């Protein structure tokens, strides 16, 4: 059996994860709970979020807190973060994971749809970071991990709002890293490749996709949420103390 790293600096640390109810986010919740962190997660999916929190409560050093919210509504997002702080204390780690890679055609994209895509894929990352920064400043530091995507690097079509937002995430990271670095707050982008979540497999992964992955990745094995979570653990822990303003790509060598 393969053994993976345990990070003592994550024990009892308060970690906020957006989009934690399903997909990569659910694995992030599980992995940080397993490290002994105090996890709070925000998601719009009430059923999956409650089920995950209940499943992980037993035997955990700290039972995770699920706060149901639509994070395109910034006051609702901030209230959810406040609820996590109320239960688990000041937030030391923020994982800006939530997104929606909805496909859309250029000719059908209204200004309203464009704004909605930016709201779900980019805007909340800034406002969540802003809302936790005071906690991190008071604590003498913190770690913010913004989730990007290799899709725009591969010039993937069919979802221009998503790819635009994900390209912008890397700029957001660099800007915040400069402003918040003065307070020992680190900001990095974790850039996943094509991760075989249940949703991706259900919607998109057919034989043609598997052939594309085999051509693209240097390591032709399924990229899993656990692989992304292991990088997130490292970026959250003190082991990465001098890593900031960087892109950490986990894609099996595709880009």
Ligand X SMILES: NC(=O)c1ccc[n+]([C@@H]2O[C@H](COP(=O)([O-])OP(=O)(O)OC[C@H]3O[C@@H](n4cnc5c(N)ncnc54)[C@H](O)[C@@H]3O)[C@@H](O)[C@H]2O)c1
Instruction: Name the residues that contact ligand X, by CB under 6 A.
Output: 19, 21-25, 43-45, 70-72, 97-101, 120, 147, 149, 192, 194-195, 197, 199-200
Q: 20, 84 in Cβ contact below 8 A?
A: no
At residue 185, the 3 state secondary structure works out as strand
Shortest separation between residue 146's beta carbon and ligand X, angstroms: 8
Closest to ligand X by CB, 35 vs 125, is 125
Q: Which of 32, 41, 66, 162 is catalytic?
A: 162
In whole angstroms, give the CA distance from residue 208 to residue 192.
20
162 is an active site residue: yes
Closest to ligand X by CB, 183 vs 234, is 234
Shortest separation between residue 136's beta carbon and ligand X, angstroms: 21
Q: Considering Cα of 74, then 80, then 86, then 91, what sign does the dihedral take?
A: negative
Closest to ligand X by CB, 140 vs 158, is 158
In whole angstroms, give the CA distance from residue 185 to residue 244.
8
Active site members = 162
């Amino acid at each position: 059996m393969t053994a993976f790293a345990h990070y003592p600096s994550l024990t009892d640390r308060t970690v906020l994860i957006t989009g934690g109810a399903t997909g990569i986010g659910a694995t992030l919740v599980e992995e940080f709970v397993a490290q002994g962190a105090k996890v709070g997660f925000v998601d719009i999916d009430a059923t999956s979020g409650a089920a995950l929190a209940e499943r992980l409560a037993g035997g955990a050093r700290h039972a995770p807190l699920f706060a149901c919210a639509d994070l395109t509504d910034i006051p609702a997002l901030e209230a959810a973060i406040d609820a996590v702080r109320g239960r688990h204390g000041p937030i030391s780690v923020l994982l800006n994971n939530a997104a929606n890679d909805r496909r859309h055609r250029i000719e059908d994209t209204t200004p309203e749809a464009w704004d909605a895509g930016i709201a779900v894929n980019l805007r909340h990352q800034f406002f969540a970071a802003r809302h936790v920064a005071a906690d991190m400043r008071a604590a003498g530091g913190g770690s913010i991990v913004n989730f990007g995507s290799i899709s725009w690097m591969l010039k993937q079509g069919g979802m221009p709002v998503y790819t635009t937002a994900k390209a912008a995430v890397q700029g957001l990271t660099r800007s915040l890293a400069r402003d918040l670095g003065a307070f020992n707050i680190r900001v990095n982008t974790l850039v996943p490749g094509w991760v075989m979540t249940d949703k991706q497999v259900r919607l998109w992964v057919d034989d043609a996709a598997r052939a594309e992955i085999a051509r693209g990745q240097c390591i032709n094995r399924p990229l899993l949420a656990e692989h992304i979570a292991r990088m997130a653990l490292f970026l959250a822990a003190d082991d990465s103390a001098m890593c900031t303003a960087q892109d950490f790509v986990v894609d099996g060598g595709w880009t």
